[in-house]
């Protein structure tokens, strides 16, 4: 393996799958002597890990590439790479729009990045590594061309020592008409349970306390081996026994595959987070059919009822698209009704963005004006925020066991950052209503068993362990609390409490 003394700048947009991919690419490059920099001007290697789900995310990458045109001319040794979903989707188009880009590497070829960068430095020519188009070959050939990238991880290089993502499947076969993911991430392929379990065991032995299982539709997980079929619930059961793991989460679920065995596993396994992310996308049957989601609003409601009956305390979150092709005011109000009655913990709400290569782009007119999309987006967000705040305020006065994840955003901004801690956190804490604590008790952040974010003052040594927190106030996104037990057990200890 060649040794370098290079400075790497990487920008990551999109979902958690992209965050994991970037983490693994960065680890591979650091192994070769690369160092990370947050200053693009200093870097001799610049990577963009991209997202194609909405047009806006792609625009941002093309603008960033445009800004680099000049610097690339002045620094002939510099290598610029576009990796991930947009690389798979746009392929040579990226070189045509931005000729100063050296590498285009799709989601299925990430393992080749170190070598491709080396080659680029040796001889300047465009290098393209992408998977087969789903229409151009057999399913087996296309699947083989999308290689899951799950190398062993170096514990020193994880963004958080206590939390890790674990991929359980790649790709998607649902083909919702608006969505580009089945093209950019290829056919659905579940990882062998033995690989998942050994990765999780290894992470736990290195100090990881919480794993989040990743897949586009995790509850569609299926793997046949030794004459038995592993479902998501079997996987949870097997992972649950791993010593040291305290919390297991998984995203994202597909409504039609929300089976009773999975709900019972979530209910019965104390270390599995009581939290499900099950995107509804719309509350109108006409839209759901046009989106080819494969369920009716009635079936989604029935599923919500089953979740609430089986796991009454479960927090549920959702995604919605507003302004999809032909969405009338009446259709939109039906989505508002579904949101109102479902009382999601939170919802991600998106304006429909037509994506080339999808059925909706090909066959349906994008006929809802932008300002209508924007208004519906705001209306829906306002309703969700109101629900989140109401439900959060019902929790004021209660106590919760919290897995401490790291310093809060505010504390990190105050310069109390430990680069090894909290890097993978995604808390969206609002700045009002919370203050960074004093230096010896900075503000920490953690989550309840139902995935609710809580901030409280504490000792950074608590990070990775459990504390009991009393909630005294809240915002739409965050519970504010105080620690009620000073007795805590550090993640290094084998005696972590098991919480129901
Ligand atoms: N336009 C807007 N939102 C989209 N999503 C997926 N494709 C599109 C699109 N073309 C949303 C869905 C999905 C989330 C990850 O992104 O709500 O659940
Ligand atoms: Fe896209 Fe639908 Fe697959 Fe989700 S289930 S990734 S929305 S095609």
pLDDT, one tens digit per residue, over 221-243 is 999 999 999 999 999 999 999 99
- Among 57-71, 84-98, 155-169, 191-205, the minimum mean pLDDT is found in 155-169
> What does residue 126 show for φ and ψ, rounded to 5 degrees?
-65, 135
pTM of the model: 0.91
Ligand 1 binding pocket (C-beta < 6 A) is: 53-54, 178-179, 279, 281, 319, 321, 350, 352-353, 355
The Cα–Cα gap between 468 and 104 comes to 48
The Cα–Cα gap between 409 and 411 comes to 5
Q: Provide the 8-state DSSP code for 415.
A: I
Ligand 2 mean position, distance from CA 348 (Å)? 14
Distances (CA, A) of 379 to 323, 331, 333, 340, 374: 12, 14, 10, 12, 9
Highest mean pLDDT among 71-80, 263-272, 414-423: 263-272
Residue 432: pLDDT band (50, 70, 90) is: very low
The rounded percent of the chain whose pLDDT value lies above 90 is 83
Q: Report the 10 Å Cβ neighbour count for 153.
A: 20
Q: Is the pLDDT of residue 386 over 70?
A: yes
In the block, tokens 């393996």 appear at 1
Q: Provide the 8-state DSSP code for 469.
A: E
The Cα–Cα gap between 248 and 265 comes to 12
The Cα–Cα gap between 480 and 427 comes to 13
Contact 307, 276 (CB under 8 A): yes
Q: Is the pLDDT of residue 150 over 60?
A: yes
Strand order in the sheet with 163-167: 163-167, 210-214, 247-251
Domain boundaries, the chain: 7-137, 158-273, 278-394, 399-483
The Cα–Cα gap between 396 and 399 comes to 9
Ligand 1 mean position, distance from CA 87 (Å)? 18
Supply the angle between the helices 370-393 and 329-342 in degrees, to the nearest 10: 10
Q: Is the pLDDT of residue 492 over 80?
A: no
Q: Atom 16 in ligand 1: which residue has the minimum CA distance?
A: 53
Best mutation site among 179, 185, 280, 359 for ligand 2 pocket (most ligand atoms within 8 Å of CB): 179
List 435's β-bridge partners, or say none: none
- What confidence score (pLDDT) does residue 58 get? 97
Q: Which ligand is nearest to the CA of 257?
A: 2
Contact 22, 10 (CB under 8 A): yes
Best mutation site among 321, 360, 363, 370 for ligand 1 pocket (most ligand atoms within 8 Å of CB): 321
CATH architecture assigned to 278-394 = 2-Layer Sandwich (3.30)
Contact 230, 222 (CB under 8 A): yes
In the block, tokens 């059919």 appear at 289
- What confidence score (pLDDT) does residue 75 get? 84
Q: Is the pLDDT of residue 405 over 60?
A: yes
- Which helix (H) or strand (E) segment holds residue 347: the answer is strand 347-351
Give CATH for domain 158-273.
3.30.750.210
Residue 485: pLDDT band (50, 70, 90) is: low
Average pLDDT, the chain: 90
Contact 450, 423 (CB under 8 A): no
Residue 5: pLDDT band (50, 70, 90) is: confident
How many Cα atoms within 13 Å fall on the side-chain side of residue 257? Answer: 19
Mean pLDDT of 6-35: 95
Q: Is the pLDDT of residue 322 over 90?
A: yes
DSSP conformation letters of 274-339: SEEE---B-S-HHHHHHHT-S--HHHHHHHHHHHHHH-TT-EEEEEEEES-TT--HHHHHHHHHHH
Ligand 2 mean position, distance from CA 477 (Å)? 26
List 407's β-bridge partners, or say none: 444
Q: Is the pLDDT of residue 487 over 60?
A: no
Ligand 2 mean position, distance from CA 493 (Å)? 40
- What confidence score (pLDDT) does residue 155 get? 80
Query: How do residues 437-453 score in pLDDT, each as one tens digit?
Result: 555 678 999 999 999 99
- Dihedral through CA 420, CA 423, CA 427, CA 431, nearest 10? 80
Give CATH for domain 7-137.
3.40.50.12160
């Amino acid at each position: 393996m060649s040794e370098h003394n290079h400075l790497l700048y990487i920008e990551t947009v999109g979902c958690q799958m992209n965050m994991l991919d970037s983490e693994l690419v960065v680890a591979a490059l650091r192994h070769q002597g690369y160092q990370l920099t947050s200053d693009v001007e200093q870097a001799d290697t610049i990577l963009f890990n991209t997202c194609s789900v909405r047009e806006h995310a792609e625009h941002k990458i093309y603008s960033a590439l445009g800004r680099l045109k000049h610097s690339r001319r002045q620094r002939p040794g510099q290598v610029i790479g576009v990796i991930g979903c947009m690389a798979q989707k746009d392929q040579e188009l990226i070189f045509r729009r931005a000729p100063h880009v050296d590498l285009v590497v799709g989601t299925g070829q990430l393992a080749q990045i170190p070598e491709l960068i080396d080659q680029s430095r040796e001889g300047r020519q465009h290098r393209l590594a992408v998977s087969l188009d789903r229409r151009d070959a057999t399913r087996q050939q296309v699947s083989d061309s999308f290689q899951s990238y799950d190398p062993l991880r170096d514990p020193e290089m994880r963004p958080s020592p206590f939390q890790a993502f674990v991929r359980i499947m790649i790709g998607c076969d649902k083909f919702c008409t608006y969505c580009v993911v089945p093209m950019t991430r290829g056919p659905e392929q579940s990882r062998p349970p033995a690989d998942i379990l050994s990765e999780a065991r290894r992470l736990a032995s290195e100090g990881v306390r919480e794993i989040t299982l990743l897949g586009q539709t995790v509850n569609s997980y299926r793997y046949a081996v030794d004459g038995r079929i592993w479902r998501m619930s079997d996987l949870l059961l097997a992972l649950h026994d791993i010593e040291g793991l305290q919390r297991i989460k998984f995203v994202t679920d597909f409504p039609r595959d929300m089976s009773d065995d999975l709900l019972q596993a979530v209910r019965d396994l104390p270390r599995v987070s009581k939290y499900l992310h099950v995107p509804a996308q719309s509350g109108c049957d006409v839209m759901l059919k046009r989106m080819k989601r494969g369920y009716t609003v009635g079936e989604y409601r029935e599923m919500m009822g089953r979740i609430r009956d089986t796991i009454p305390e479960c927090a549920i979150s959702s995604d919605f698209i507003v302004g999809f092709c032909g969405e009338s005011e009446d259709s939109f109000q039906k989505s508002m009704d579904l949101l109102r009655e479902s009382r999601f913990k939170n919802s991600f709400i998106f304006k429909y963005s037509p994506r080339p290569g999808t059925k909706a782009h090909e066959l349906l007119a994008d006929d809802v004006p932008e300002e209508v999309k924007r208004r519906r987006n705001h209306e829906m967000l306002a309703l969700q925020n109101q629900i989140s705040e109401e439900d959060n305020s019902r929790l004021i006065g209660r106590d919760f066991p919290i897995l401490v994840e790291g310093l809060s955003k505010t504390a990190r901004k105050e310069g109390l950052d430990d680069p090894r801690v909290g890097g993978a956190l995604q808390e969206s804490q609002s700045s009002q209503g919370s203050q960074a604590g004093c230096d010896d008790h900075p503000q920490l952040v953690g989550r309840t068993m139902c995935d609710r974010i809580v901030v409280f003052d504490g000792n950074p040594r608590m990070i990775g362990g459990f504390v009991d927190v009393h909630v005294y106030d809240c915002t739409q996104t965050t519970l504010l609390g105080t620690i009620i037990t000073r007795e805590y057990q550090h993640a290094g200890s084998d005696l972590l409490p098991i919480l129901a």
